[in-house]
Amino acid sequence: MAPKSSTRGKLYPNSTKVGDIVQTSFNNEIGAQKRATVRPEDPQDLLIRPVLADPDGPGDWKGSWLLEHGTKLRFYVGGLDWFLTTAKMTIEQLANYKDEAVVVAQKAGWRRPDGVPPMAQREMSIFWEKLAKPQFYQAKKGESLQFSKAALVILTCELALEDRLSKQKAGRLNPQQHMEEAIDGGTDVYSHMAIVPACWHVSNLTTEYLEKQNALRPSFLRDLAQEIGQEETAIKEAALGHTLSYGTVRQIADYCSEVARASQPAGEIRVTSGRGIPGTLRATGKENLSLDD
């Protein structure tokens, strides 16, 4: 993940829109949602926002998005640093609970999310059958995972936290291992952790589009990156077909509509890939998402 930029998105300096919140603080956004400390029956409820072209708008979103995005590397685990700090655990220790998480997920019905046809559920169930240790390190580094893997990482955190709390209450931990934050149970993770999807793109944002804008205004790409608080590389990768979070895509689209020539609009925000390059690849690894700020 890209280094944190000193410049945050300026398009919504006083707004509470989701696009603004995701650029400044994951913790602010999940805190504002006041999520219940219970394990969701449907893993789709782990998402920080619906996977819709406009996450703030109406629409029946469950199920359909999984068919296009679920098996692609477009999902980040938000709040993992909170867990590791709170539980006083290492990634290595956390990964010891991964096999249990796979079993619990199956019993909880997570392999059968709402809105997904039975045939597709069977085809996608293979991605719920195993969670590997390297995927925990990838999540810690802010790298994208498949949806099922991101969900399993959070479920693993629940089980590990519950076990940690049980051992602490039973006096089986050294005093220095005791958790300092008041924890009621393992399901506390669901009010602090969520999956951040990066499934969006701007329909006409291609390398050719950026080249045309830079020809008209040589500082276009630099100014755009500075305005939205992202590295130029993230925008370039999006133009090559990589996907982004909604907050970043929203800011790119708004900036281009304000600054770019009217004869060359950046296009619509989309969550489904169409013809051509945009939105066909995994999430860019260069986006600054501030997952633990």
19-38 pLDDT per residue, tens: 333 344 788 889 889 898 99
What average pLDDT does the structure give for the chain?
87
Phi and psi dihedrals of 37, rounded to 5?
Answer: -90, 60
Question: Is the pLDDT reported for residue 262 higher than 90?
Answer: no
Whether 205 and 146 share a structural domain: no
**Cα(206)–Cα(278) distance, rounded to whole angstroms?**
7
> What's the rounded mean pLDDT across residues 112-116?
93
**Cα(236)–Cα(147) distance, rounded to whole angstroms?**
24
Residue 20 lies in a domain: no
Domain end call among 197, 225, 250: 197
Residue 21 lies in a domain: no
Q: 28-42, 49-63, 205-219: which range is least confident on average?
A: 49-63
Question: Is the pLDDT reported for residue 8 higher than 80?
Answer: no
pLDDT in tens, 131-169: 999 999 999 999 999 999 999 999 999 999 999 999 999
Single pTM value for the model: 0.89
Whether 66 and 135 share a structural domain: yes
Whether 229 and 149 share a structural domain: no
Residue 9 lies in a domain: no
Could you tell me which residues come within 8 angstroms of residue 83 by beta carbon, excluding any fewer than 6 positions away?
89, 94, 157, 160, 161, 189, 192, 193
**Cα(241)–Cα(8) distance, rounded to whole angstroms?**
24
> What's the rounded mean pLDDT across residues 71-92?
96
Whether 146 and 219 share a structural domain: no
| Containing structural domain, residue 120 | 37-53+60-197
pLDDT for position 34: 87
Question: Could you tell me the pLDDT band of residue 275, with boundaries at 50, 70 and 90?
Answer: low
Q: How many domains in the chain?
A: 2
Domain end call among 197, 217, 248: 197
Burial-class residue 178 by CB neighbours within 10 Å (0-12, 13-18, 19+). Answer: exposed
Give the CA radius of gyration of the chain. Answer: 20
* HEC assignment per residue over 159-197: HHHHHHHHHHHCCCCCHHHCCCCCCCCHHHHHHCCEEEE
Residue 282 lies in a domain: no
The dihedral of CA 123, 124, 128, 132: what is its sign? positive
Residue 253 lies in a domain: yes
